Structure 1
Amino acid sequence: MSQKSRDGDDSWPAAAADRVVTWARGLGPSAGDRRVLAIEGRSGSGKSSLAAAVADRLGAALIRMDDLYAGWDGLDQGVSALRDWVLAPLAEGRPAIWRRWDWAAGEYAEEHRVPDGRWLVVEGVGAGAPRSYLSGLVWLASPAPVRKQRALARDGDLYAPHWDRWAGHEQAFYTANPVHSQADLVLDN
C-alpha cells in the first residue's frame, strides 16, 4: 500500500504511528531482550504503511509477512517461518535468519539476518499468531470494500486474480486463530 490512505490523506499513517509508538514504549521485551510488535489485519487494512511509519519512529527492524508466505497458498507456512526462523531464535538468544519468498520463482531465496536492536516490527496477516513471542499486537480494522479497493489500487493486476483466493485463506486462518480478539490495540482505518 502506498503511504496515502483514506482517500489520499497521508495524515492517517503518521497520526496512527504516533499513537502506536506512544503506547508501545511501555511494553517490555518478549523475545529475549527484543520487543516485538505485530501489526495485523486483513489485506488492504493499511498494515504496510503503518508498520513502516512505526518501525521508522522506533528505529526498529521491519519484517513483512509477504516476504515469508510461501506463495498465494502459503499463509500458514509463512506464520511457521516467522515463529521458527525469527521469533523462537530471538527468544533463545540466537541470531534470527529468515529466507525471502521469491514470488516469481515460486521458492525461498536469499537469507536475511534480523539486525540487532531493541525493537522488531512484524506486519502482515498472521504476524500476531505467535502471540507468546509478542510484546504487543495491533489490529487494523477496515471494511471489506475499502480494503479491496486499496489492495487492488496498490497491486492492481498482480493481485486481482488472487483476491478471493487469499481472502479465503485469511478467513480460514482467522477462524482457527482469533488474532483480533487477542489484540492489545485496535485501530480503525
Structure 2
Amino acid sequence: MDAHRPAGNSPLSLRGLAGTLDLLPPSCGPVRLVAVDGHAGAGKSTLAARLAAEAGGAPVVHTDDLATHEEPFGWADRLVAEVVVPFQEGREARHRVYDWTARRFAGERAVPAAPVVLLEGVGSGQLALRPYLAVTLWLEVDPATARSRGIRRDGPALEHFWTGWSAAEDQHFAADPTRPFADLLVHQTEGGYRAAPGPYDHGG
C-alpha cells in the first residue's frame, strides 16, 4: 500500500474512508493529520464534520479560525507554531481563534493530539503543510458552484466579501494548488460521499 493514501482503487464511502485513516502512518508526532481542502462554499465543513463523526469523534481544526482579513491564506506559520509543533511533541495543541466580526483574535481552542485530526479549510493542503499531512482530500466541486452555494448560504450582505475572498482564493490556488497533490478526490452524490484515488502518486 502507498503509505500516503488508504488502500484500494475502488471508491470508498465516508465510513469506509474513516476506517482507513488510523491505518495510515502517523504524520505529525502521534497524529495522522488529514487535510480536507476545496473551494470556499464547496461544503468542506460539512464533509469534515461527517468524516470526524465516522472516525469516532476525531477533532477538527478549521483554518477559518487561523486566517484573518489581512491574511486569508497566510496562516501556515501560525498553524505550524500553534498546532503542528505541539503535535510533534505529543502534546495538546492550543491555537488562537480569529473573530471575523471584531477583526481580531479572541480566545483560543484546545485540540488533543488524537490518533486522527482533521484540518479543514481552503488551502489546508498547501505546500508548507504537506510534510505534516497523512493524507489530503479534495472536495470535488467546481469554483462557480461552490461560490454560488457560499453566497446563498451567507446572504447578499456578504456578497462583497465573497468577491474579495474569491479573488484571493484564485490567486492562492494559482500559485499553490492543492488538487494536483490530493491523495483522494471526494464526490458528493445522492447516496452520500464517495472518495476515489486522486492525481497524486507520491512519485511511485
User: What pairs with 1:10-49 in structure 2 (closer than 5 Å)?
Assistant: 17-49=14-46
**C-alpha displacement of 1:144:** 2.5
Q: Look at both structures and tell me which one has the larger radius of gyration over its CA atoms.
A: 2
- CA–CA separation in structure 2 for the residues paired with 1:62 and 1:76: 18
- CA–CA separation in structure 1 for the residues paired with 2:20 and 2:160: 38
**C-alpha displacement of 1:98:** 0.3
Counterpart for residue 106 of structure 1: 103
**C-alpha displacement of 1:88:** 2.5
For the residue of structure 2 that corresponds to 1:77, the secondary structure is coil
- CA–CA separation in structure 2 for the residues paired with 1:40 and 1:159: 22
User: What pairs with 1:102-141 in structure 2 (closer than 5 Å)?
Assistant: 102-129=99-126, 130-141=129-140
Q: Of Structure 1 and Structure 2, which has the larger fraction of its residues in helix? A: 1
Amino acid at match of 1:178: P
- CA–CA separation in structure 2 for the residues paired with 1:21 and 1:185: 13
Unaligned runs of 5+ in 1: 1-14
Counterpart for residue 94 of structure 2: 97
Identify which range, 34-43 or 106-115, moves more after superposition. Answer: 106-115
Q: Of Structure 1 and Structure 2, which has the larger fraction of its residues in strand? A: 2
Please give the TM-score of this superposition, normalised by the length of structure 1.
Answer: 0.83
**C-alpha displacement of 1:31:** 0.6
1:75–1:126: 8 Å Cα contact kept in structure 2? no
Counterpart for residue 60 of structure 1: 58
For the residue of structure 2 that corresponds to 1:76, the secondary structure is coil
User: Compared with structure 1, are the counterparts of its residues 146 and 109 closer, same or farther at alpha carbon in structure 2 (3 Å cutoff)?
Assistant: same
- CA–CA separation in structure 2 for the residues paired with 1:63 and 1:16: 22
2:21–2:32: 8 Å Cα contact kept in structure 1? no
- CA–CA separation in structure 2 for the residues paired with 1:185 and 1:40: 11
Unaligned runs of 5+ in 2: 1-11, 189-204
Amino acid at match of 2:68: A
**C-alpha displacement of 1:178:** 2.2
Please give the TM-score of this superposition, normalised by the length of structure 2.
Answer: 0.78
Counterpart for residue 172 of structure 1: 171
- CA–CA separation in structure 2 for the residues paired with 1:37 and 1:70: 22
Amino acid at match of 2:141: S
**C-alpha displacement of 1:128:** 1.2
CA deviation profile, 1:53-75 (whole Å, cap 9, x unmatched): 0111112111111111112x422
**C-alpha displacement of 1:23:** 4.1
User: Compared with structure 1, are the counterparts of its residues 118 and 68 closer, same or farther at alpha carbon in structure 2 (3 Å cutoff)?
Assistant: same
Give % identity: 33
Identify which range, 33-42 or 179-188, moves more after superposition. Answer: 179-188
1:83 pairs with one of 80, 84, 91: 80
Counterpart for residue 8 of structure 2: none
Runs of 4+ in 1 over 6 A off after TM superposition: none
- CA–CA separation in structure 2 for the residues paired with 1:70 and 1:108: 9
**C-alpha displacement of 1:149:** 2.0
- CA–CA separation in structure 2 for the residues paired with 1:20 and 1:124: 19
For the residue of structure 2 that corresponds to 1:54, the secondary structure is helix
User: Across the two proteins, how many residue pairs are aligned to each other?
Assistant: 174
- CA–CA separation in structure 2 for the residues paired with 1:110 and 1:75: 19
